[in-house]
Structure 1
């Protein structure tokens, strides 16, 4: 029997609370709702990195930042990816849209790439040719909209939210969706397919076409969550981040310190509208798969690389470890057969680091030793797995997060002060308990858990760092001896 096609859709900077079927009634997402209603939703899914490159490098290598060295905007195309493992197992591997490779045009295991990077990526500045979206615009007599800060005299007041200036079909998310449909309509289906579709939205600037903005005219958009005195009990980097984006003149300038609730709500409508544009393109992709007779042999995975604060805590974008910044939507639908778990919501903690092992499991591809996640296939088949994760982890520049169902600790590298939250009492993470004596023992326990995790992770992946090979031997300690060399490693979860 032919191996299943794998379609992996990943948006950029989409928060967890942006799908109607997951309980967020202000959203217009009928096709994401279909995936939720017909598949399995992981409602407590977390990114392994708090920024685009760090998270994507971790997702596609299957290793956390401390093992690849990719903590932010670092090169990572020299690392192994599980895409290469799929290709070696006979899959035709195609990327359409954003991958955020570094270097940008590296193959990263794919046979074909149709590249559409950040909306405001200035390729000429770095001496590079335009990506495929840029070439598409040029071919139609248009230019990439690079300098919106110069186009609008009140740009700093707009919070990065404006309508798309050109025809709808020229929007980068339209381009990615349309290109994927055209590619599928011409696919000869001689091999099993791995298709990664990377939508650059809803990453800022929040610039959907006006048609989608109009859909949210009367929407009841949730207000941003913050406390007026938050920064007094938070690490100083948070205030610095707010002020840097407020005062630095560039396209990403955004002033949440002085923005009123209506300004933020308007910006959030633009963000939601961009997601609805992407949702429409997902519907067209599903229709193309079905028309071409591929859907019935396809496993579809949908997620985002990280979230967006959208003014929560009066902070911009990502970079930190709040749930809106690194908790993401994550759904799997196996179209090959109806399943008793269809429509099920899984509240167990999972990480996007689990995507690689899950896909390799579906395709019966041998899993390299260094992959740090666990396959989630039993959730789709049975609705549960043995020994669910107690903790998820996220890393980025100078930060490491450990989060359980009830508590979160954020450790700031080489600093005495950090963050600690009781999520049962404070789900919006407004009250930092780092210095609260009542939580002293819990903070110590989480530090020890984090140390145990990172020590095992570094040790077991030492072989990969030495050889960059898929398999290597490690020395596992024994009670009555120095240790044996073993192929592979014990379960790290």
Structure 2
């Protein structure tokens, strides 16, 4: 291969919290292979997504624009274009194995090859779509574990979405995706620089790991934050309504409980973390396969996730809120041969900044305009490194089938403060993150903090006006 530009391996999980990596300081975790990336790579400790649900966050990542620009505001909004097309047109071999959550699922998106594996429990969009995993299950004569079958369990409504995987181990979707990626790396010829997106469906619910991976977590203290009555009482009305909605409707096989016991919360958390360990094992196998194929020394490996999961923290199920356990995600860029000594970056970045960063690395022109910014000067520790970081990050979430009683929710966050705004509504959230890092004391109505509230609302307003003006002509470009 004469083109010596680096291979780019993007590993993205679904709904993985930032506090799920042992090397990041969470000793209860079992993640030796992600720990290696963390120890040897560049770790972004304050990486934030731009939307509180799957498709809008992913569309933002793969376009470099906020949801209000892409027009992809909720799952099943049409999403057909993004910067992977630029990588392909720039000479990269582009391959997707696993989840992307584009709509339609089989949209090319710039990939030469797509081996689509989507959510474990599809119910609203693509319910009867047969992805690669569905085909493999059928070939083996297996019936997929999914909502209709879980509903038949006697303890379904008390399980918080946590169930045992009872089919063949290699047919678990995360094992399946990991194995497919390893097989592709080992057996498919790489004749051009490679962009390989590996999308694991987990640890998104249902939380159904292979039981042996959960055994050790069930015996551990898992550092689960208590749910305080004062926190629940001062949440905005749309979040209170969403708690009830998630109790009444079993999204993704999760029947949310308004007052789960400590034992129920612990079991749910153990099953979720066990799924992370399963994925970690496959990350190790992917790294080994890249090394055996002779690709690793000239590869950049990125590990991240599309958003987090409340896991009953703050009394909530899954995502659709703006707490840090949702909006802050792991992000590691591993390329010790290229970017030197491992280090941590504590400044704020938006996850979508990956797009222009990768185009910069690949020597491909970055489309203009783009709301995302390249982090390459920071990776190279150049004189412009500080300019890559952000003083403020933003996230958005539109009304959908889960956030049912609010038109539009927007977060503005600095290092020390967070404000959450609800369109046309009198309530909101305001957190002093230095004094209250767990975000349990809502200061929205506190007179002593009225000036900070005005300041953050002004920041939000100026950002939205400026970004909408600068990207006004792009509304239809990604759909």
* 1:346 equivalent in structure 2: 345
Q: Are residue 444 (structure 1) and residue 454 (structure 2) matched?
A: yes
Q: How far has the Cα of 1:154 moved from its partner?
A: 1.2
* Unmatched 5+ stretches in structure 1: 470-493
The alignment's C-alpha RMSD in Å is: 1.7
Once residues 212 and 56 of structure 1 are traced to their aligned partners in structure 2, the CA distance between those partners, rounded to angstroms, is 28
* Pairing of 1:220-231 with structure 2 (within 5 A): 220-231=221-232
Which deviations, in whole Å up to 9, do the C-alpha atoms of 1:277-302 show, x marking residues without a partner? 00000000000000000000000111
Q: How far has the Cα of 1:253 moved from its partner?
A: 3.6
User: Is the 2:44–2:330 Cα contact (8 Å) retained in structure 1?
Assistant: yes
Q: Are residue 287 (structure 1) and residue 288 (structure 2) matched?
A: yes
Q: How far has the Cα of 1:254 moved from its partner?
A: 2.4
Q: How far has the Cα of 1:127 moved from its partner?
A: 7.6
Q: How far has the Cα of 1:338 moved from its partner?
A: 6.4
* 1:177 equivalent in structure 2: 178
Which deviations, in whole Å up to 9, do the C-alpha atoms of 1:48-86 show, x marking residues without a partner? 1100011001111111011112111142323x3000000
* 1:43 equivalent in structure 2: 45
* Pairing of 1:452-463 with structure 2 (within 5 A): 452-463=462-473
* 1:56 equivalent in structure 2: 58
Once residues 253 and 288 of structure 1 are traced to their aligned partners in structure 2, the CA distance between those partners, rounded to angstroms, is 35
* 1:400 equivalent in structure 2: 410
Q: How far has the Cα of 1:95 moved from its partner?
A: 0.5
Q: Secondary structure at the match of 1:396?
A: strand
My pick for the range that moved more, 10-19 or 61-70, is: 61-70
Once residues 297 and 168 of structure 2 are traced to their aligned partners in structure 1, the CA distance between those partners, rounded to angstroms, is 34
Q: TM-score of the superposition, structure 2-length normalised? A: 0.93
* 2:356 equivalent in structure 1: 357
User: Is the 2:231–2:314 Cα contact (8 Å) retained in structure 1?
Assistant: yes
Once residues 257 and 432 of structure 2 are traced to their aligned partners in structure 1, the CA distance between those partners, rounded to angstroms, is 25
* 1:138 equivalent in structure 2: 138
My pick for the range that moved more, 367-376 or 377-386, is: 377-386
User: Is the 2:237–2:427 Cα contact (8 Å) retained in structure 1?
Assistant: no
Q: How far has the Cα of 1:364 moved from its partner?
A: 0.6
* 2:19 equivalent in structure 1: 17
Once residues 411 and 382 of structure 1 are traced to their aligned partners in structure 2, the CA distance between those partners, rounded to angstroms, is 36
Q: How far has the Cα of 1:368 moved from its partner?
A: 0.4
Q: How far has the Cα of 1:151 moved from its partner?
A: 3.0
Q: Are residue 417 (structure 1) and residue 419 (structure 2) matched?
A: no
Q: Secondary structure at the match of 2:380?
A: helix
Once residues 180 and 335 of structure 1 are traced to their aligned partners in structure 2, the CA distance between those partners, rounded to angstroms, is 22
* 2:188 equivalent in structure 1: 187
* 1:252 equivalent in structure 2: 253
User: Is the 2:9–2:300 Cα contact (8 Å) retained in structure 1?
Assistant: yes
Taking structure 1 as reference, are residues 129 and 405 closer, same or farther at Cα in structure 2, changes over 3 Å only?
closer
User: Is the 1:297–1:335 Cα contact (8 Å) retained in structure 2?
Assistant: no
User: Is the 2:43–2:333 Cα contact (8 Å) retained in structure 1?
Assistant: yes
My pick for the range that moved more, 258-267 or 303-312, is: 258-267
Q: Secondary structure at the match of 1:425?
A: coil
User: Is the 1:245–1:252 Cα contact (8 Å) retained in structure 2?
Assistant: no
Once residues 189 and 150 of structure 2 are traced to their aligned partners in structure 1, the CA distance between those partners, rounded to angstroms, is 45
* 1:318 equivalent in structure 2: 319
Q: Secondary structure at the match of 1:77?
A: coil
Taking structure 1 as reference, are residues 423 and 250 closer, same or farther at Cα in structure 2, changes over 3 Å only?
closer
* 1:152 equivalent in structure 2: 153
My pick for the range that moved more, 265-274 or 141-150, is: 141-150
Q: How far has the Cα of 1:37 moved from its partner?
A: 0.5
Taking structure 1 as reference, are residues 236 and 359 closer, same or farther at Cα in structure 2, changes over 3 Å only?
same
Once residues 105 and 248 of structure 1 are traced to their aligned partners in structure 2, the CA distance between those partners, rounded to angstroms, is 28
Taking structure 1 as reference, are residues 280 and 267 closer, same or farther at Cα in structure 2, changes over 3 Å only?
same
* 1:201 equivalent in structure 2: 202
Q: How far has the Cα of 1:418 moved from its partner?
A: 0.7
Once residues 95 and 250 of structure 2 are traced to their aligned partners in structure 1, the CA distance between those partners, rounded to angstroms, is 37
Which deviations, in whole Å up to 9, do the C-alpha atoms of 1:150-186 show, x marking residues without a partner? 2311111111111111121000000000000111111
Q: How far has the Cα of 1:251 moved from its partner?
A: 5.1
Q: How many residues align?
A: 464
User: Is the 2:213–2:277 Cα contact (8 Å) retained in structure 1?
Assistant: yes
Q: Secondary structure at the match of 1:161?
A: coil
My pick for the range that moved more, 111-120 or 386-395, is: 386-395
* Pairing of 1:70-89 with structure 2 (within 5 A): 70-78=72-80, 80-89=81-90
Once residues 148 and 452 of structure 1 are traced to their aligned partners in structure 2, the CA distance between those partners, rounded to angstroms, is 49
User: Is the 2:48–2:328 Cα contact (8 Å) retained in structure 1?
Assistant: yes
Once residues 279 and 475 of structure 2 are traced to their aligned partners in structure 1, the CA distance between those partners, rounded to angstroms, is 38
User: Is the 2:72–2:79 Cα contact (8 Å) retained in structure 1?
Assistant: no
My pick for the range that moved more, 144-153 or 50-59, is: 144-153
Once residues 170 and 129 of structure 2 are traced to their aligned partners in structure 1, the CA distance between those partners, rounded to angstroms, is 22
* 1:374 equivalent in structure 2: 373
Q: TM-score of the superposition, structure 1-length normalised? A: 0.91
* 2:165 equivalent in structure 1: 164
